[in-house]
Chain A
Amino acid sequence: MDNQEPIIELIGLGKVYDNKNVMVRALENINLTIYEGEIFGIIGLSGAGKSTLVRCINYLERPTEGKVIFNGIDLSTVSEKELLKIRQSMGMIFQQFNLLMQRTALQNICFPMEIAGVPKKEAKKRAYELLEIVGLGDKAKAYPAQLSGGQKQRIAIARALATNPKVLLCDEATSALDPTTTRSILNLLKEINQKMGITIVVITHEMSVIEEICNRVAIVDQSHIAEIGTVEEVFMKPKSKIAKQLVFSGAKHIDIFEGKDKLRIIFDGRTSFEPVIANMVLECKTPVNIMFADTKDIYGKAYGQMIIQLPDDEIGKKRIYAYLEANKIPFEEVI
């Protein structure tokens, strides 16, 4: 993150599918720069185009407009052969793991090295190292059918890292896993990012995955990038409708609460370590009703929101508004 060297640049990227002469637009005017060493999240609802987007990065899908620049190379200008070579420096993992079912874990990890022409002995040695890194040193001889989902994804990660890629593309890598396994896989990805300095691009539909590991995030909606920024920015002040929808996804239920005069108080990490609501209640001498609260820990800071119902009396209400403004606590009225 410190060295702001771009590793992946998408410039005016677009993709149109010709489906029996009916043009289907999957992506339009995507501009995105991913820097070396960061964990970049791409989030969107299903059908938003995020899977196509990640496949454009390694040219599994050829974009119909715009450019992909990887490590300074415009991928549209390289030959087929060079492209295959370049793909070896971009690892990819998938929702369904996509392991070779007829190969052992070890042979699966050796596979990309076989393709790259790494000598067998060397490949095997590296594969054993990678098995240790992903914590499955004892599963070398196991076939994928004998492994759990989390273990399969670990093997897939080891396989993706075998050729020492600069970038790891993760396409919904945790979407088929349970929450505990998801967390352990995310931790592994974080570790790989920190220890090996590999840039990671995470495609997901789950905000929790973004919170957990990403530095920056792009929100994709209806073939476009709706919003892009650091995870903190997007969490604190989601600007687009889709971003609000994703960030406040837990708050959908507030509609069912009766009553008016509801306020959303936003925790922006700065204010989280002081008892905001308690202080406010003491200071204003007005009780409030907490209707919804959702805070998340992102890199040691708490972000989130709380929805409170204000008292009926006008004076109390005004005091609360004044208090929040004076203390620079972000808030908005909920209608």
Chain B
Amino acid sequence: MFSRAVLIMIGKGILETLYMTFMSSLLAYIIGLPLGILLVVTDKGGIRPFVTFNRILGVIVNLIRSIPFVILLVALMPFTRAVVGTTLGPNAVVVPLVIGSAPYIARLVESSLKEVDGGVIEAAQSMGASPLQIVFKVMIPEAKPSLIMGGAIAVITILSYSAMAGFVGGGGLGTIAINYGYYRYKTDIMLVTIALMVLIVQGIQEIGLKWMKISDKRL
């Protein structure tokens, strides 16, 4: 049905999409996870309340989150060029993806950690646990199933953002869909890429759900 060249292109697209998605997710978590922890810990009633800091952090997070990703993608181009040397290709997309999704991840992590029963944290405090111990030995392990589920949601969101980057030559399935489906009216190629995206999203969701179920000892 498709020529060899098209198949190779689609194959490359899949790999690029997966690369962008997982690389960005990893880097975004490196930033977003600590931010989420800070949002919970410094919150009023948290284990180390620091309301002013918490407010400022909250505003920054909301600010970045409220910028539509396409705008962020373009606005960050000079910065992207400074970091990776180009504004084209998968590596160039990783930069805005990380910056755009880290605040989102921070909020996801925040809401997961807030689900942890306050009584359990109090029990840890009564045993003389330090704030750092409470974060790493109580909050994160207790919130693990919810963090995993949040992780699946974050990765899927980043995947769809990465497809948006197709408009500015980001590479991956998104670029193929836009270049062939939108600009050249090759509906069949567009449909295939969409189907592939659906499959990847489905896969990530399933893996997340399974992993969560295995790790949750409350069931």
A residues near B (Cβ < 8 Å) are 58, 60, 83-88, 90-92, 94, 96, 98-104, 111-112, 114-116, 143-145, 156, 163, 169
Contact = CB atoms under 8 A, between A and B. Distances in A.
A98 B123 contact: yes
Given A60-B125, A145-B219, 20 more contacts: A83-B128, A87-B125, A91-B126, A91-B127, A96-B117, A96-B119, A98-B120, A98-B123, A99-B120, A100-B120, A100-B138, A101-B117, A101-B218, A102-B144, A102-B145, A102-B216, A102-B217, A102-B218, A103-B217, A116-B127
Contacts of B169: none
A136 B82 CA distance: 62
A115 B215 CA distance: 23
A115 B133 contact: yes
A28 B144 CA distance: 42
Contacts of A102: 141-142, 144-145, 215-218
B129 interface: yes
Contacts of A115: 124, 127-130, 133, 137
A267 to B, nearest CB: 39
Interface of B: 117, 119-120, 122-130, 133, 137-138, 141-142, 144-145, 215-219
Given A101-B218, A102-B217, A145-B218, A87 B128 contact: yes
Listed from nearest, the 5 A-B pairs whose CB atoms lie closest are A87-B128, A98-B123, A92-B126, A84-B128, A112-B127
B141 A100 contact: yes
14 contacts: A87-B128, A98-B120, A99-B123, A101-B117, A101-B120, A101-B217, A102-B145, A102-B216, A104-B217, A112-B127, A114-B137, A115-B124, A115-B133, A169-B126
| Residue from A60, A91, A102 with most neighbouring chain B CB atoms (10 Å) | A102
A144 B117 CA distance: 14
Contacts of B117: 96, 98, 101
A90 B126 contact: yes
Nearest to B127: A112
B133 to A, nearest CB: 6
B114 to A, nearest CB: 16
B51 to A, nearest CB: 13
B142 A84 contact: no
A114 B120 CA distance: 16
